[in-house]
A and B are shown apart, each in its own frame.
Chain A
């Protein structure tokens, strides 16, 4: 008899919420339990937590380690409450309601315990609030205020204990501020399956570290920034490049342009107190000009371009595999516009790099065109152009610094700003975005389509690609197949989604693709199998299935996004994040799609013009390949000795 063993469960149960299993029918006897919170009765499902019960009757209980996206840890002890008849205080975030219990959430004992927790955390929390990136948006700061912490009863560090880690292009670590809530650990291991951060050591020496405390820039980090989005304090933050961008704006020699991705528009308003899901697209254009950007472009343009290139690539792969019988065609084709996903693939599944579309991400396509096509068109010296990208993303900072992203002869994109950074610039410039007048994007890339917009939501790239491919192949409007052209099967927030799309008929090959395939007959009646995954833990599920020869290996095209919810849940988006906020942002994005008159990438006139004027050998052609396509690096998982 040997040591009992089982398939791995990732999160230790000390960090995992195991609910008491509720009765299947909500009407069954005992399915609802009455709990009295501060004298107010609440009816909750058997097994709900005290925290959930309290929220249902409007009682706020403070939390720090708890996060709605994560397994419950129960480690900070901020949420302790008094349960009548029990000597111990119980953590509201984990304690299940299974009988008629009476709970008091702010007795003297509870208030004292919470104060102690805060004072203890402050005893090792180095840093001044006023100089902190999270000033005004820090959960520890807010709670210290709520609980009237007016002294450091247990001390306060005068000096930093450890050096900050600025080795990454994307994510900065200041462990002097860390409160050991382990949200980042749970994010990195459970949600993302990347496994960069863990609790190291024990006792008061516990710290959150990378493997052997290596710099973040040299371990297997995908730069997704999901840890940043969930850090309650300023211990993890995205690299701040606003000073460099201001300097460029201030320099009269520089021509500073910015492209703005769709997802930040649905979230920027949150930084100005608007409800999540209030788009400020056109107000932001005005703000950008007033802040000093010379031209404001819409990344949707290059998103449409991405669809053209990536869609062409897919058609070619399918043609080669299905018609020409080439054995070495890598299918399914994977999207490659999420830089977090790309790095995940490079580290964890390098053998599948040939499956990744060689098409660059919209950010990088735009970058390559700005310093070539646009510079030529306006007669500008590309060396004087500073190309900025507003992205919902921290990994975009890494992406624009990839050595291969210099196809224009310069660094194609100079700075990738997060939504949070730009919001900060607006505030510094006194620009209250919601109160500004609306204005449009600048030419020559101004006109965008709804297809580009929905890139911001999980499933959006797939939907855009399908809209274009269906119309190009069938010659019919996609609206004749899907109501309003909404390809609902690929939408939603399920972690992994699978859909089969039948090609009902084929039409003539449009001129723009005539150089690639002679006809569409080979697709007549074919079933296109597609899938969508968001969050790299879900990506891993799909990849492992492909490795095992499962149903996803039969797919033709799979969209992968590193962040939960897609770009709208990106690591550069406003903090906090949770499912409701992400859903609201998605709603805004799909509403904006509906508002566009042109909703298919190939119909984008700016795209057509670009192919006509500049990328003259068409999608997938030589010029396009030089500027709009890239290659990847097989990185693997090994962490070399320093």
Chain B
């Protein structure tokens, strides 16, 4: 017996394999696509991907666990990644971090109870001249003040899902 959502999942992954090719090289693009749309890589998903690429599930789990943007844990509708590296630190990232945590009521690495926002640290995002900088999903925000941070959180809260999803 295959659950209907599993069937749906299989069709989706088969479509990706079709588009990207059945080789191992397709693994990361497939995982990126799924993660982007479903915000997580669950147990069934990784096993179906493994099956369709003819690799072992533990290999999929291993690869996913390696990359900061892929790890399997469920994420919120929006992901805020605050740059933690030196120039942003100099520019006042701590105050922004405090504002984000305060406004969201969560710590880094956590997701709000309503599943709306995940907060993470990012290694340098290449906005060192305009720090503090952060990514909201794939979009970059620079010279973020604590007030900006609160506004960003409010916008994420108000938004149903990722604009690009």
A/B: CB atoms within 8 Å of each other: yes
Minimum Cβ distance to chain A for residue B7 (Å): 14
Contact B26 A189 (CB under 8 A): no
In this assembly, does B56 line the interface, its C-beta being within 8 Å of a C-beta of chain A? yes
Inter-subunit contact A202/B66 (CB<8 Å): yes
B134 to chain A, nearest CB (A): 22
Question: Do A210 and B58 touch across chains, with their CB atoms under 8 A apart?
Answer: yes
Query: Is B23 located at the chain interface by the 8 A CB criterion?
Result: yes
Closest beta carbon of chain B to A92's beta carbon, Å: 27
Asked if A29 is an interface residue, CB under 8 A from chain B, the answer is no
| Interface segment, one of B46-54, B98-106, B113-121, B136-144 | B46-54
The interface bits of chain A over 1-15 (1 if a CB of B lies within 8 angstroms of the residue's CB, else 0) are: 011111111100000
Contact between A5 and B22, CB atoms less than 8 A apart: yes
Contact between chains at A211 and B23 (CB < 8 Å): no
Q: In the complex, what's the smallest C-beta–C-beta distance from B46 to chain A, in angstroms? A: 8
Other-chain residue from B21, B56, B61 in contact with A200 (beta carbon distance below 8 A): B61
Residues of chain A within 8 A (CB-CB) of B21 are: 2-3, 5
Partner of A6, one of B23, B43, B62, B65: B23
Given A5, A637, A638, which contacts B26 in the complex, CB threshold below 8 Å? A5
Distance to closest chain A CB from B24 (angstroms): 4
Indicate if the CB atoms of B51 and A637 lie closer than 8 Å: yes
A9→B25 CA distance, assembly (Å):
10
A197 & B58 in contact (Cβ 8 Å cutoff): yes
Query: Judging by beta carbons under 8 Å apart, are A3 and B47 in contact?
Result: no
The chain A residue sitting closest to B24, CB to CB, is A8
B147 within 8 A of A: no
Q: How far is the CB of B158 from chain A (nearest CB, A)?
A: 34
B59 at the interface (CB under 8 A from A): yes
Contact partner of B58 among A4, A196, A638, CB < 8 A?
Answer: A196
Q: How far is the CA of A641 from the CA of B22 in the complex (A)?
A: 26
Which of B23, B43, B54 makes the CB contact (< 8 A) with A212?
B43
Query: Is the Cβ of B23 less than 8 Å from the Cβ of A199?
Result: no
CB distance B25 to A639 under 8 Å?
no
Assuming the contacts A200-B65, A201-B65, A201-B66, asked whether A639 and B57 have C-beta atoms less than 8 A apart, the reply is yes
Among B20, B51, B57, B66, contact of A211 (Cβ-Cβ < 8 Å): B57
Contact check, A198 vs B23: say whether CB atoms are below 8 A apart: no
Q: How far is the CB of B10 from the nearest CB of chain A, in Å?
A: 12
Residue among B20, B29, B51, B66 facing the most chain A CB atoms (10 A cut-off): B66
- Residues of B contacting A210 in the complex (Cβ-Cβ under 8 angstroms): 58
Interface residues in A209-226 (C-beta closer than 8 Å to B): 209-212, 219
Q: Are B59 and A3 within 8 A (Cβ)?
A: no
Interface contact A7-B58, CB-CB below 8 Å: no
B53-112 interface with A by 8 A CB criterion: 53-59, 61-62, 65-66
Does A446 reach chain B (CB closer than 8 Å)? no
**Does A195 touch B at the CB level, under 8 Å?**
yes
A186-205 interface with B by 8 A CB criterion: 189, 194-202
Q: B66 to A2, Cβ gap below 8 A? A: no
Q: Which residues of B contact A638 (CB under 8 A)?
A: 47
**Complex partner residue of B61 from A6, A8, A198, CB under 8 angstroms:** A198
Q: Considering residues A2, A9, A10, A212, which has the most beta carbons from chain B within 10 angstroms of its beta carbon?
A: A212
Q: Which of B11-42 contact A (CB under 8 A)?
A: 19-26, 29
> B residues within 8 A CB of A5?
20-26
Query: Given that A637-B51, A638-B47, A641-B43 are contacting pairs, would A4 and B59 also be in contact in the complex, using a CB cutoff of 8 Å?
Result: no
Contact B29 A3 (CB under 8 A): yes
B63 smallest CB distance to A (angstroms)? 9
> Given the complex, which residues of B lie within 8 Å of A4, measured CB to CB?
25
A8 to B50 CA separation, bound complex (whole angstroms): 12
Contact of B20 with A2 in the complex, beta carbons under 8 Å: yes
A189 touches B59 (CB 8 A): yes
Other than the known A3-B26, A198-B62, A210-B58, what 11 A-B pairs have Cβ atoms closer than 8 Å? A4-B25, A7-B23, A8-B23, A195-B57, A195-B59, A196-B56, A197-B58, A198-B58, A201-B65, A201-B66, A209-B58
A–B pairs, 21, beta carbons within 8 Å = A2-B20, A3-B20, A3-B26, A5-B22, A6-B25, A8-B55, A9-B24, A10-B55, A195-B55, A195-B59, A198-B59, A198-B62, A200-B61, A200-B65, A210-B58, A211-B46, A211-B47, A211-B57, A212-B43, A637-B47, A638-B47
Query: Which 7 A/B pairs are nearest by Cβ-Cβ distance?
Result: A195-B56, A5-B23, A5-B21, A198-B62, A198-B58, A8-B24, A211-B58
